[in-house]
Structure 1
Amino acid sequence: MPVRNASAEWNGTLKKGSGIMKLGSVAFEVAYSYATRFEEQPGSNPEELVGAALSGCFSMYLAAQLTNAGFPPVQIRTQARVNLGEGPRIHLIELDTEAEVPNISDLLFQEKVAKSKSSCPVSMALAGPEIRVNARLV
């Protein structure tokens, strides 16, 4: 299996410093700071990248589960809310998923959602915080 790379550089103190996070496989880098992470200032933060990673992994895994069950999806959209609490620590990640899947029952869809939540590689790596998924067919 492939090894994926990412890196971060931080300059200065926690509150006055800033940094850049980079993905190794594409020309993607994003600036971050204390203010973008803890004070709701515009910019990015590590938690957004965690949310993006989980959203992407979950959606792909769900697509595989649905396809293998004979219900190939037309589209899956997943949005993550990563809740940073005291500590600071991530205590909850909420995924809102909408999927267009012809002819599937909601019961079978929810079974595949539950399997994807517990089995996608990023979910397994994030075993510490609670992960909730609210999913609906559209």
Structure 2
Amino acid sequence: MAVTSESTTVWNGSLVAGSGSVRLDSSKLAEFKVNWRARSEGADATTTPEELLAAAHSSCFSMALSHALSGAGHEPESIQTTAAVTFEAGKGVLGSHLLVSARVPGLSEAEFQSFAEDAKQNCPISQALAGIPITIEAELA
């Protein structure tokens, strides 16, 4: 079954002086302020498209890794993933770096690295980001 997720952004004004908000329509769980200054300078208490992309990447990766591990008989106790998405004005999104720590009883470090690399390559958000470098640091806790 295909599921479509929706968000709506309302923007007012020019890119540099304007601002807006993005609403999570499907879940109705949140609405976030957005502006250019936060995106280009890292300022203000607003989100950015890249922060939202990082949230999507870290959650998708964690789910893909959990699924692969469980499917192979290695039930994870926990997986913590931070995705750091880098943006530069004039160049765009430069890459996503995944920092992963997981507790998986009975799994060797080498086996874990193989599962983590596979999830990095094959989670749907990683596949959608195929045009940028994706790097990973993964460790068993």
Q: 1:94 offset after TM fit, Å?
A: 0.4
**Deviation digits for residues 39-95 of structure 1, max 9, x if unmatched?**
121321000000000000000000001101111100100111111135231111101
Displaced runs of 4+ in structure 1, greater than 6 A?
none
**Deviation digits for residues 12-54 of structure 1, max 9, x if unmatched?**
0011100111112223110011111111213210000000000
Q: Hey, what's the Cα distance between the residues in 2 that align with 1:20 and 1:86?
A: 20
1:11-90, aligned counterparts within 5 Å?
11-27=12-28, 28-41=30-43, 42-90=45-93
TM-score by length of structure 1 reads: 0.96
Q: How many percent of aligned residue pairs carry the same amino acid?
A: 37
Q: 1:115 offset after TM fit, Å?
A: 0.9
Aligned residues: 138
Q: Hey, what's the Cα distance between the residues in 2 that align with 1:106 and 1:7?
A: 42
* C-alpha RMSD of the superposition: 1.0
Q: Hey, what's the Cα distance between the residues in 2 that align with 1:116 and 1:97?
A: 11
SS in 2 for 1:116: helix
- Are residues 1:5 and 2:6 paired? yes
Q: 1:7 offset after TM fit, Å?
A: 1.6
- Are residues 1:100 and 2:111 paired? no
Structure 2: segments with no counterpart, 5+ residues: none
Q: Hey, what's the Cα distance between the residues in 2 that align with 1:20 and 1:88?
A: 23
